[in-house]
Amino acid sequence: MRIHVTIGGTRRGAVGMDEAEFDEFYASSLRRLTGQLYAMIGNHDEAQECVQEAFVRAWARRGLLDRRDGNPEAWVRVTAHRLAVSRWRRSATARRHRISPDRALAVCGVGEEPSETHVALVAALAKLPEEQRRAIVLHHIADLSVEQVARETGAPEGTVKARLSRGRTALAALLADDPGTEEVRL
């Protein structure tokens, strides 16, 4: 799988999506991407909102999303994560300036409740340093190779391997201490 995050610059030969392709892409990857972002940021509602917003932006830039050999899913994931960080920053700004909370942070709709195991896993992931958590989610949940994780996070491969190793060790300890995940005790 190759990753081309070419938004902002046109890559020669890129072939944009049409409506049917976008709809199929959305239907097939929304749930997966929402789960991945939820594992990264620890908020299920916000994860889905950010992923949906990333799809909006993807469609707005569809001419640059290469459906042939690019990886639009990686672009949506990166954009959604960036939006989540941006929202965090924005809500921090709102607190700083004592303005009302971000309208876009409002939670709407009721969907599936994550299982206790999922909640426990997300809680354990949330205790890891950001870089380790992101590496683990991308490698183990999104099933990216170390090379792909390195490319998506902008870190050297060696650094990614170290983050994965430390993150897994820490995660194992955290899960072993959590009664909600007895079934995965080592």
Q: CB under 8 A: which stretch of 69-77, 109-117, 156-164 binds other proteins? A: 109-117
**According to CB under 8 A, which one of 13, 68, 112, 179 is a site residue for other proteins?**
112
**Using rule CB under 8 A, residue 22 touches other proteins:** yes
Q: Which of residues 57-86 bind other proteins (CB under 8 A)?
A: 57-62, 78, 81-82, 85-86
Of 73 and 121, CB closest to other proteins: 121
Q: CB under 8 A: which stretch of 23-31, 66-74, 156-164 binds other proteins? A: 23-31
Residue 83 burial by Cβ neighbours in a 10 Å radius (0-12, 13-18, 19+): buried
Q: What is the spatial distance between Cα 161 and Cα 147, in angstroms, rounded to a whole number?
A: 10
**According to CB under 8 A, which one of 29, 67, 118, 159 is a site residue for other proteins?**
118
Q: What is the spatial distance between Cα 135 and Cα 29, in angstroms, rounded to a whole number?
A: 20
CB of 64 to other proteins, least distance (A): 11
Q: What is the spatial distance between Cα 67 and Cα 129, in angstroms, rounded to a whole number?
A: 34
Q: What is the spatial distance between Cα 47 and Cα 114, in angstroms, rounded to a whole number?
A: 13
* Element containing residue 46 per DSSP (H, E): helix 44-60
Mark residues 133-152: x for contact with other proteins by CB under 8 A, - for none.
---x---xx-x---------
Give the CA-trace dihedral at 46, 47, 50, 56, to 10 degrees: -120
**Using rule CB under 8 A, residue 177 touches other proteins:** no
Mark residues 1-20: x for contact with other proteins by CB under 8 A, - for none.
------------------x-
Give the CA-trace dihedral at 31, 34, 40, 43, to 10 degrees: -120
**Using rule CB under 8 A, residue 130 touches other proteins:** yes
Of 4 and 81, CB closest to other proteins: 81
**Using rule CB under 8 A, residue 30 touches other proteins:** yes
Task: Give the amino acid at 35.
Answer: G
